[in-house]
Structure 1
Amino acid sequence: MGISKFYTIYKIVIPNCLRDIVATILLGYNYAIGATAPIMFCMAVINSPISFNISKPGMSLSYHLYTLMTQGISMEMAYGTAFVLISLIVFVTVVFQFLLRKKGENIE
């Protein structure tokens, strides 16, 4: 047809698939938020300062909740952590549903 692969990908394919790409990333994030076991065995630490560096160990909300509940440290903090975790999951799910309904698909 006379057009390059670069033009086809960046001007035709990506604009048509952008919502699906974002929805897939959001679903993957939503799944990873709740997956405690892989985080426990791969990168979790018991006490970690806040760090935005991906190469440093960190504590996820699900592992933090697990630690608070099993150690009996603070039930108030455990309920707060559970609320934040569930709120994040609900928020990501609502965004995902909004993106798909905007496209015209119906996911139930």
Structure 2
Amino acid sequence: MDLASGHLLALEALAPESTIFGDAKIQFKAYNLGKGKGMSVLDIVEAMRKATGFDYKTEVIGRRRGDVPDLTADPTLAEKELGFKAPQDLETMCRDLWNWQTKNPQGYAQDSYVDQTQK
């Protein structure tokens, strides 16, 4: 839901009455939508365990050669210009993801989306 909110804010920034871009003729801008706090793969696995009820098995074998120690997006610009905040915790995000996926097992396939909207 946080990402959906951020995307709506970005679309609103493109409206003719928006002052986000000022008088510039800029038609695009990149924003990082996130919390600005890194989460590990194991954090995500644990949150998905709670969201789905599945007991995912993991095996820690170490870092892969070339892995960066931390890769965290900075949402400061999105907060400043769009008013974006990501209030949900990881467990809620995973629960939202699982809820959507179970209702849309084919993803964004046209037929599954139409079927779900008419139920």
In the superposition, the TM-score normalised over structure 1's length comes to: 0.26
Higher Rg = 1
